[in-house]
Amino acid sequence: MAKRKLTRKQNWRIQKVQDEKAQRLEKKLANSEVQGHLGAEQEGLVVSHFGTFVEVEPILVEGAEGKDHERTEDNASAEASNTGILGSEGNIRCHFRANIGSIVTGDKVVWRQGKDGYGVIEVVLPRDALLSRPDPRGKLKPVAANIDFLVLVVTPEPTPSSMLIDRYLVAAELQNIDVKILLNKTDLLNEGNQPKIEALLQVYKDIGYEVMRSSVVTSEGLVSLKQQLDNNISVFVGQSGVGKSSLVNSLLPGVDLKVAELSEGSKLGRHTTTNARLFHFPDGGELIDSPGIREFGLWHLSPENVIDGYRDFQEHVVMCRFRDCKHDREPGCALQLAVEKGEVSEQRFHNYFNIVDILEENG
């Protein structure tokens, strides 16, 4: 069921409550600091974000390079829990100041223990890759940081949208994140849906994206999927109901995330996962489960940037007669020619204009 839209007044009241909460927290944090209630600085890894606090897994810094990190009893017990797959025991819930900037799952932070059991985030350490997406109000929201691979999960059911795939790819390309496409639920392939899906995936294979396959039901592909993900930091993204959490459960024994059947009529997911969460592979590497989405806006981009997210267009657009070619109706457009010759997918070309049009309308 669609969520009821909030009125302006309701939105304002929610914002007011949130602001008041933030102010109270600021006061509390300032007080603890003045009274010297905060423990020594420690490094940690953000494993989940819950709006008003984040869950942080302590990291022990070997040999204390640069800064001296005190080894306390707390640290020792945190180290013990670090060896667990989930690592949720020994994690610390941390508050953060409103002015600290964004904090996101996968971020490394410096935090200090407070007397009330909560920690306080001091600094968010510099991150490599940050995957962001706009929330329904168009505000850019970071999803996960420091990731090596974005695993874009698609399925026969719910049916994949090439538009959604392209939007994810554009976002990832522009943020320099490596993408792999994973066709999950291969057990649901049949004569009816297979040709269309294979054709769709072939387009992406031709451009050079890696396409993997898996089924949580038959276990097809799970071993090689795990080999690919081991020792890397990956995030599962995609529509709701494609099986992201089910895959995490299968790949990591001991993890038991909530999963839910698709809704009867629409065959769409039920938005079961609400927070991105990071898990460890026993032999190294991390896997982040993220909430599924219906739409993927790219409102933070300017229309001119979109083309850089289309890797298959690059060799053609440099050949256009006009340097400022919009690839629309201009004479001598090498991209249009490539589409006519079948060297560039018509669907991708169509999606490109769709994205640009929406950005121009909103801009």
Q: What letters, b where the CB count within 10 A reaches 16 and e where it falls short, cover 341-357?
A: eeebbebbbebbeebbe
Which is nearer to Mg ion, 113 or 246 (by Cβ)? Answer: 246
Which is nearer to Mg ion, 221 or 243 (by Cβ)? Answer: 243
Give the residue from 117, 10, 8 showing the smallest Cα distance to 55: 117
Binding span for ligand GTP by CB under 6 A among 46-54, 224-232, 268-276, 301-309: 268-276
For residue 253, CA distances in Å to 82, 247, 257, 260, 301 come to 16, 11, 11, 19, 39
Query: Residue 333 binds which one of Zn ion, Mg ion, ligand GTP, none, with CB within 5 to 8 A depending on kind?
Result: Zn ion
Among 119, 142, 221, 269, binds ligand GTP (CB under 6 A): 269
What are the helix (H) ranges across 175-252? 194-207, 222-229, 244-251
C-beta neighbour count of 117 within 10 angstroms: 8
* Min separation Cβ 257 and ligand GTP, Å: 7
Applying the rule CB under 5 A, the residues between 265 and 324 that interact with Zn ion are 320
By CB under 5 A, tell whether 91 contacts Mg ion. Answer: no
Which is nearer to Zn ion, 53 or 352 (by Cβ)? Answer: 352
Which is nearer to Mg ion, 232 or 272 (by Cβ)? Answer: 272
Name the residue number minimizing CB distance to ligand GTP. 292
Among 75, 155, 214, 273, binds Mg ion (CB under 5 A): 273
Query: Residue 320 binds which one of Zn ion, Mg ion, ligand GTP, none, with CB within 5 to 8 A depending on kind?
Result: Zn ion
Q: Which two tokens stand for residue 42?
A: 């420690």
Query: Residue 246 binds which one of Zn ion, Mg ion, ligand GTP, none, with CB within 5 to 8 A depending on kind?
Result: ligand GTP
By CB under 5 A, tell whether 105 contacts Mg ion. Answer: no
Applying the rule CB under 6 A, the residues between 214 and 233 that interact with ligand GTP are 215-217
C-beta neighbour count of 175 within 10 angstroms: 14
Q: Yes or no: say if 174 and 305 are a contact pair by the CB < 8 Å rule.
A: yes
Number of residues that bind Mg ion (CB under 5 A): 4
What does the alpha-carbon distance between residue 268 and residue 207 come to, in Å, rounded to a whole number?
A: 28
Give the residue from 204, 170, 166 showing the smallest Cα distance to 302: 170
By CB under 6 A, tell whether 246 contacts ligand GTP. Answer: yes
> Which x/- pattern over 176-205 shows residues binding ligand GTP (rule: CB under 6 A)?
--------xx-xx-----------------
Which is nearer to ligand GTP, 110 or 260 (by Cβ)? Answer: 260
**Nearest 5°: phi and psi at 346?**
-65, -40
What does the alpha-carbon distance between residue 280 and residue 297 come to, in Å, rounded to a whole number?
A: 30
By CB under 6 A, tell whether 351 contacts ligand GTP. Answer: no
Rg (CA), the chain: 23
Among 73, 261, 283, 361, binds ligand GTP (CB under 6 A): 261
Query: Residue 327 binds which one of Zn ion, ligand GTP, Mg ion, none, with CB within 5 to 8 A depending on kind?
Result: Zn ion
What does the alpha-carbon distance between residue 297 and residue 135 come to, in Å, rounded to a whole number?
A: 8
Among 133, 280, 327, 348, binds Zn ion (CB under 5 A): 327
For residue 119, CA distances in Å to 2, 76, 87, 96, 309 come to 37, 16, 17, 9, 39
* Min separation Cβ 348 and Zn ion, Å: 14
3-state DSSP assignment of residue 145: strand
Applying the rule CB under 5 A, the residues between 328 and 357 that interact with Zn ion are 333, 335
Q: Which two tokens stand for residue 222?
A: 């799970």
- Which residues of this protein are in contact with ligand GTP, per CB under 6 A? 184-185, 187-188, 215-217, 240-246, 259-262, 269-273, 291-292
Residues of this chain that interact with Zn ion (CB under 5 A) are 320, 325, 327, 333, 335
